[in-house]
Structure 1
């Protein structure tokens, strides 16, 4: 009889052909491309739908040909709030003063009465959908924050479907479709003729491309040996951080939202022939009974890495058998839906999925919440966004040093607790101390980045191969609830300035404590079945708590 999937020790085979040789480097170089695209596509709305500073146009005072956002007379005609001109109101001109002949002195206005604005003066030449589609007063802030929420609703709807397609039909096909679909809808969005069309394209883009990151991540990580998983995870995570920083730099130089979208999305179309060269996941091929294809990829990997597959490994992958046995071997024993039903009927695994989903929700909410709130900090919003992106890099370096020594569970718990603490501390900084406040904000982002990076590799390690991307997508789907909420958090600051950071701190600490219910996966082989996943850590002291 042919051997089953469970009989194949793929981690041992990967060790034999080289855990991170030329073949894996080639695969990672290809996967870095969609990872950077995902950073562009996921966060582009921070700048395309970014708020811009504006004030009322004051008839009789503002020069109709030379625009000056902060003229000397501004405080006479417009209320100031902490030195910033009000966006939606101006002082009422005195009735006997002609609007066309105002001297714009304080005496020309009734400073105890305000009126609404008919038109606006914008601070600089930055063009977002705010001034392009005239999304200004009164009370249109919700239209701006809705853009980010709609983007994440698209991801929420699509992730479980994409996860199913990926586990059912293959990672490579889903990756190509997600890059192509996202790029097409992103380019269409660049030609939006109104706010409604922009919002529809903002939904369809992630609805097609939301699985880009998780698929590329799994395609890369499933082909490296167990000792190189942390390194492989950090390569992908660093690529995303560089993508975020590159987005900030591009937005700094291309300040028209239409131009920026074209710059971000056209490379997605151009890259498709290159991404066609991506190798399919060996683990997925084996889980589907396609062992000859898996063996072909492994032989190619061994050749590129200067290694050789042993006869024992070849026999374990494609045992000698008659045609009938081969036919039986190439057909999966159980349907995907049967495996999924078993997964959700297993109380222990269901509890693990629920805990993992809450952890994802917390990480995504805090991670994206900090990124989005960075453009509201004092100082240049582009520089702040770039710094908040690049501060992730030392976090990945620390992960590289400690994750294979301390373990996944303690690292995840500690980083989330520290993030919550730093979020709290940042609200006790005296007003005006911009740099100290920024430093604590950056440290908060660094620790949640370490947590998020650990969570990705942890989620891959605690779920079985035949359901890995589906369950990762389920957890990530709940994470998108957090990213749907994140764009609204800047509005909370209008209720009480410290509220966003207090929410981030509280939910981070709570989730950090619940993580202690996870198993430790350090130096563990990736489980292939639900049974293997639930039997992880048989000798761990916490086994009874995890059952």
Structure 2
């Protein structure tokens, strides 16, 4: 009995139609990367020091250079280093007539440690030539520096919550619809972010971005995955990651041309509005439509795929097999990830590896970025590192199968953490690498399709399937030419 993949193979499992759709989705990955990494430039914190009343007038009066002003009026850091304090100033009156231009602190021996200090009370002076950023505009430095980190934390929180919410709603309302709605909210919130009048509004719009950006991207990825046969899904996933990495490499050039944070935010937001045109350019997932018993819409899309690939929907596929469409499938829940023992185990292992992989990636980028010494080169290198890494992983998978990359990759991640810094807590990376040995794909097993299959993994290994299925029957209701696919419709049988 034929499967849905068999139908896709007959009309083009990865033909020109799918490649066109994939290319359109890859464009969204380029822009999504800017939301992830853009904060590096939006929230850049330049060199700064406390603004002291009277110092500017004294500098003009004494004709000091900027370096002389720092030497004369700024205290050293508390650590005793040669750098100036960024969060404290001398608590003295620079307008006093006793202040000398040659040595304004002449009455203090050996520097300034005995002078009274106070926190910055009149704002900060930022280094000449520094562009406007979230940090400089809202004074998110020193005691307020945590607010800068909070904006990124809210984005990441939005990523987590939004992914769960949109992943759930995509199973109810469809992948395309949720993608377009998420794109619309992301576009509007990004636009409003560029015109944020205060820090509070900035946090609100940043959180909204997080809630819908990653979730929408996930919906688009699920859609293209369900539109092609399993043989090509790995390649499609790698290409999508390459697009994300290319976006990271492109971002420094954009930030260099538009250094002011509001202009940069506008530039990385406007392309999202163009993606709303995908309403007419990309289809809904035919797999999802069939699961929802929307056979007429699914058939229409299958005909589009066939036509786009120069094929027709053959009538030899009288019946195809898909997973049974019962109430439990129609009502997915996040709790399914932890409801049963095997699902809990797999969820925990994958979570461990994603956290850990982030540490390894950030560590590698940090060390390579130090070679550049500036923020633009650092971000460019981070994207450039991902591209060959993705290609190498793909080649290893193609040549050696899935088992070795999962096991060796995880172990090497843990080992690299351990060797790179000899930090005891990084042992968690080695543990995470070992845990992947307990995943079904690492064991070389065919991936299960349902939660029931996951819980009966031993039966699955021996080839005994316990999942119930339903049939999708393709037939004609009128007498037409066999090549007239317009007369074909789909009927779902329990």
The answer to whether the 8 Å contact 2:168/2:332 transfers is no
Deviations 1:33-84 (A, max 9, x none): 3222221223322222232221234644774699999614634543167554
The answer to whether the 8 Å contact 1:285/1:291 transfers is yes
Matched, 1:141 2:145: yes
Change (3 A) 1:134 1:338: closer
How many Å apart are 1:388 and its aligned residue?
1.1
Change (3 A) 1:101 1:374: farther
Residue in 1 that maps onto 2:300? 296
Residue in 2 that maps onto 1:333? 326
How many Å apart are 1:171 and its aligned residue?
0.4
The answer to whether the 8 Å contact 2:174/2:284 transfers is yes
Partner of residue 232 from structure 1, selected from 222, 231, 236: 236
Distance in 2 separating the partners of 1:184 and 1:67: 49
Change (3 A) 1:30 1:95: closer
How many Å apart are 1:147 and its aligned residue?
1.2
Q: Which runs of 5+ in 2 are unaligned?
A: 465-494
Change (3 A) 1:331 1:83: same
Matched, 1:506 2:437: no
Change (3 A) 1:20 1:96: closer
Superposition RMSD on alpha carbons, in Å?
Answer: 3.7
Residue in 2 that maps onto 1:530? 451
Partner of residue 319 from structure 2, selected from 292, 316, 321: 316
Q: Which has the higher helix share?
A: 1
Deviations 1:356-413 (A, max 9, x none): 2333333345546766898788710111111112210001110221113333343133
Residue in 1 that maps onto 2:378? 384
Matched, 1:86 2:85: yes
Q: Which runs of 5+ in 1 are unaligned?
A: 1-6, 319-328, 429-498
Q: Alignment length, in residue pairs?
A: 451
Normalising by structure 1, we get a TM-score of 0.72
The answer to whether the 8 Å contact 1:17/1:309 transfers is yes
Partner of residue 401 from structure 1, selected from 395, 403, 407: 395
Change (3 A) 1:204 1:57: same
How many Å apart are 1:204 and its aligned residue?
1.6
How many Å apart are 1:310 and its aligned residue?
3.3
Distance in 1 separating the partners of 2:245 and 2:31: 11
For residues 222-261 of structure 1, the aligned pairs below 5 Å read 222-261=226-265
Residue in 1 that maps onto 2:404? 410
The answer to whether the 8 Å contact 1:11/1:525 transfers is no
The answer to whether the 8 Å contact 1:48/1:128 transfers is yes
The answer to whether the 8 Å contact 2:245/2:383 transfers is yes
Change (3 A) 1:393 1:331: closer
Deviates more, 1:370-379 or 1:351-360: 370-379
Change (3 A) 1:192 1:96: closer
Partner of residue 74 from structure 1, selected from 70, 73, 82: 70
For residues 200-211 of structure 1, the aligned pairs below 5 Å read 200-211=204-215
Distance in 1 separating the partners of 2:28 and 2:162: 17
- The structure with higher relative contact order (CA 8 Å, sep 6+) is 1
Change (3 A) 1:529 1:423: closer
The answer to whether the 8 Å contact 1:176/1:272 transfers is yes
Matched, 1:12 2:6: yes
For residues 482-521 of structure 1, the aligned pairs below 5 Å read 505-520=426-441
Distance in 1 separating the partners of 2:446 and 2:287: 12
Change (3 A) 1:294 1:427: same
Deviations 1:317-354 (A, max 9, x none): 59xxxxxxxxxx99943244656477754322332233
The answer to whether the 8 Å contact 1:76/1:106 transfers is yes
Residue in 2 that maps onto 1:112? 113
Distance in 1 separating the partners of 2:63 and 2:365: 32
How many Å apart are 1:294 and its aligned residue?
2.5
Distance in 1 separating the partners of 2:230 and 2:384: 28
The answer to whether the 8 Å contact 1:57/1:120 transfers is yes
Deviates more, 1:226-235 or 1:355-364: 355-364
Deviations 1:121-148 (A, max 9, x none): 21232211211112233x2221111111
How many Å apart are 1:207 and its aligned residue?
1.6
Normalising by structure 2, we get a TM-score of 0.79
* Secondary structure at the counterpart of residue 280 of structure 1: coil
Distance in 2 separating the partners of 1:69 and 1:296: 73
Distance in 2 separating the partners of 1:356 and 1:65: 64
Distance in 1 separating the partners of 2:152 and 2:364: 14
The answer to whether the 8 Å contact 2:175/2:219 transfers is yes
